[in-house]
Amino acid sequence: MKKFKYMIQRITKMNHKAMYETAKEVHKRTGKNTLLILIDIIKTGLKYQAGYVDYLDFELYNVPESKRSTFVTRGVNNAYVAKFNSQEKWDTLDNKVEFLKFFDGYHNRAWLDLNATSFDDFEHFFKTNPRIVAKPVDGIGGKGIEFFDFDGTNAKAVYDSMRANNQTLAEAYIIQDERMGILHPASVNTVRIVTLQKNGHIRIPFACVRCGNGKSVDNLNSGGFAARINLETGVVETDGVGKFNKIAAVHPLTGITFKGFEVPEFEAMIELAKKAALHIPELGMVGWDVALTKDGPMLIEGNQFPGHDIYQSPGFLGEAQIGVKPLFDRLIAELDNTQNTEK
């Protein structure tokens, strides 16, 4: 009876309009009956804790029942986060100013908090760093980011604009290493490295390179691409994948082939992510974004919800259609069996 009540609660709390739109989109892609698709979405949600976004992103409508349990769905990912990440520390990653303070020495870039400084401080900062990035402290997905160049007279206008748009964080513009820039010079391209950490021990289940596509940010939601990296070799082993599972063997603007691209300084990037993970042990599951400059790897940000959607793009899984849950569960079991005294 309790299980039945739980199922009813789950169904009543679903966003029925969005779920129906998802079913219509799947119908458009597959020709399957919309009602049957809706039933499958609900069943998959109840059985595998998959949201309708998961259903669409992972193309679960093409995945046989026998393989659906291998996917890290929204519910599974939430359980991982609840297990590993203390909510008391979430703000350290969510708030960009708190992040920069806490990880001083890991990000190696100049920054200024407009809420803690004066206009004169900002003007000096802008003159010293003639190209800056303006950000809201709580922005996600590249939203609200703007770039400004100092022209000798525009400090007050830029300051007022940032204040008006709640962009209270100014960062010096990052000049990336050309070896990463060739993917897409207009954006700072990053490597997303997921760390699992417990008792001082670390496992890394996933890494991918991300680059922009005509815009100044590398997020998939802004049209960018991601491509999975082989953790042993540091070489990209898949095509690029964009929003809506758009596959690109070659970057459409730069002509760079994704598969086979050797990520420069990959081992050093991994080591930086490991150091960052150990620096905040209260958050045992983090997706770190790392850029590369001429001075070496630079920590851009951390995400306590690392982005389970990226792991399991159909373009990464290929014909096997096996999700990453078995891998995550195996690595988590290994960590659960470790002790603080082990090295």
Q: Categorize the per-residue pLDDT at 9 as very low, low, confident or very high, splitting at 50, 70 and 90.
A: low
Of residues 150 and 216, more confidence is placed in 150
Q: How distant, in Å, are the alpha carbons of 189, 237, 242 from that of 225? A: 10, 14, 5
Asked whether the CA dihedral 28, 30, 31, 34 is positive or negative, the reply is: negative
Q: Note the helical H segments in 146-304.
A: 155-164, 178-181, 266-279
Of residues 213 and 14, more confidence is placed in 213
Q: Which of 5-14, 206-215, 257-266 has the lowest mean pLDDT?
A: 5-14
CATH match for 110-172 among 3.30.1490.20, 3.30.1300.10, 3.30.460.10, 3.20.20.70: 3.30.1490.20
The pLDDT assigned to 151 comes to: 96
Q: How distant, in Å, are the alpha carbons of 96, 106, 169, 191 from that of 109? A: 13, 9, 13, 18
Mean pLDDT, rounded, of the chain: 94
The pLDDT assigned to 109 comes to: 96
The pLDDT assigned to 8 comes to: 55
The predicted-structure confidence for 106-164, as pLDDT tens digits, reads as follows 999 999 999 999 999 999 999 999 999 999 999 887 788 999 999 999 999 999 999 99
Q: Categorize the per-residue pLDDT at 343 as very low, low, confident or very high, splitting at 50, 70 and 90.
A: very low
Give the mean pLDDT of 238-250: 94
Is pLDDT of 311 > 80? Answer: yes
**Is CATH 3.30.470.20 correct for 84-93+177-338?**
yes
Q: Where are the domains of the chain?
A: 1-62, 84-93+177-338, 110-172
Q: pTM for the whole thing? A: 0.93
The predicted-structure confidence for 33-85, as pLDDT tens digits, reads as follows 999 999 999 999 999 999 999 999 999 999 999 999 999 999 999 999 999 99
The predicted-structure confidence for 179-202, as pLDDT tens digits, reads as follows 999 999 999 999 999 999 999 999
The pLDDT assigned to 10 comes to: 59
Maximum distance among all alpha carbons in the chain? Answer: 71
Name the 3-class secondary structure at 37: helix
Is pLDDT of 306 > 70? Answer: yes
Q: Which of 4-8, 247-251, 278-282 has the lowest mean pLDDT?
A: 4-8
Q: Categorize the per-residue pLDDT at 217 as very low, low, confident or very high, splitting at 50, 70 and 90.
A: confident
Q: What is the DSSP string of 140-172?
A: -TTTT-EEEE--SS-HHHHHHHHHHTT--EEEE
Equal CATH topology for 84-93+177-338 and 110-172: no
The pLDDT assigned to 11 comes to: 61
